Amino acid sequence: QPLNGRNVLKSSLTLTEGESCVAGADLCGADLECFNGVCTDTSAVSCEYGYEEGKNAYGEECSDCFSPASWGECPLWSDCSGLYQTPINIITADTYTAAGGIEVLSTSYDSMSGLEIVNAGTTLKVAGSFGDITVAGETYSALQFHFHLLSEHTIDGQYYDAEMHIVHAAPSGGLLVVGILFQVTDEDVDNAFLSSIKWEQAPESKNGEPVALDGEVDLGYFSDILGGDFYRYKGSLTTPPCSEVVEWFVMATPSTISPSQVAYFKEIFPGVSSYRPIQPLNGRNVLKSSLTLTEGESCVAGADL
């Protein structure tokens, strides 16, 4: 029908800076985010994360710190409230095996020297060019590794004593992280790899100043574990900004760590947690690699598959 001179009003639900808002409704204007119930210019927002309420990653008191349960409330870290977050509890009975062949990780790690170890507040971190890992035809370069105590992932609800994350990047921009679980040995026998990065002499200072490592570091130490079974799923970084861009490979066979090595880590990070709570699967599938061949399948003599 004709308008006949009538006016049509269009409501505007774009909120301006300082107006009340509801997180997730996306009503704040350009360059604004809903922060603490108010449309806020995020360039002026300062967020620090930690593992305890009111404390940063160094365990220090602060007013603008967010604990894991509230990481997603910082507008800079909205992905932390996403659907595909890490870590997860891997329920082995609910995993599936890929059809059409065996999926394997092909590693070509290099022994590196001249590296540095950094105390990052809740973890020890070593960066370098450690070589490559190839899966499904795509190659990722290993850029750094770090540790969490306890483990972040659980298997059938069981936490492990530690977890090492080897972070890889592809030219396409995707990330692949290998998670290696550690279990304390009955006898106090040090893990040789941890000894090679001077675990027991790691910097106690939390100012981020690196300490030189005088020996070689070789991720090939874990070749037996990396050549075994793993669990694969799509997830996120386990610290802010929690970007959901990670292909996760959690190795099924744990490595070992001595009681004294665990004790030292706790000594330099007293009272500080370094693992994010378990996140819901939200319908994701977890693939379990199966390196056990059945009758009639092709094999290589001596590989015991």
Is residue 60 assigned to a domain? no
Is residue 1 assigned to a domain? no
Is residue 284 assigned to a domain? yes
Rounded Cα distance, 172 and 40, in Å? 33
- What is the full per-residue pLDDT of the chain (305 aa) written as tens digits? 988 988 776 555 678 888 887 655 667 877 787 766 677 776 767 788 888 888 887 778 888 889 999 999 888 899 999 999 999 999 999 999 876 555 678 899 999 999 988 888 788 899 999 999 998 889 999 999 999 999 999 999 999 999 999 999 998 888 999 999 999 998 889 999 999 887 766 666 666 678 888 889 999 999 999 999 999 999 999 999 999 999 999 999 999 999 999 998 888 877 677 899 999 999 999 999 865 545 554 444 444 44
Is residue 221 assigned to a domain? yes
Torsion of CA 130, 149, 191, 90, to 10 degrees: -80
Q: Please give the pLDDT value at position 295.
A: 54
The identity of residue 217, as a single letter, is V
Q: Three-state SS across 59-107?
A: CCECCCEECHHHHHHCHHHHHHHCCCCCCCEECHHHCECCCCCCCCCEE
Q: Please give the pLDDT value at position 204.
A: 65
The identity of residue 42, as a single letter, is T
Tell which residue, 121, 21, 10, has the closest CA to residue 73.
Answer: 21
Q: In this structure, what CATH number is given to the domain that contains residue 152?
A: 3.10.200.10
Q: Please give the pLDDT value at position 300.
A: 41
Rounded Cα distance, 280 and 209, in Å? 36
Q: Please give the pLDDT value at position 285.
A: 96
Looking at the structure of the chain, the number of domains it has is: 1
Q: Please give the pLDDT value at position 296.
A: 52
Q: Please give the pLDDT value at position 184.
A: 97
Is residue 30 assigned to a domain? no
Q: Please give the pLDDT value at position 193.
A: 95
Is residue 271 assigned to a domain? yes
Query: Which distant-in-sequence residues (6+ apart) come within 8 Å of 187 by Cβ?
Result: 258
Q: Please give the pLDDT value at position 303.
A: 41
Is residue 18 assigned to a domain? no
Tell which residue, 227, 123, 242, 129, has the closest CA to residue 180.
Answer: 227
Bridge partner residues of 41 (DSSP) = 32
* Longest CA–CA separation in the chain, Å: 90
Q: Full-prediction pTM beyond 0.85?
A: no
Q: Please give the pLDDT value at position 28.
A: 80
Bridge partner residues of 134 (DSSP) = 106, 139
Is residue 78 assigned to a domain? no
Rounded Cα distance, 88 and 10, in Å? 45
Tokens 């679980």, residue located: 181
**Cα first-last separation, the chain:** 76
Domain hosting residue 262, numbered range: 89-288
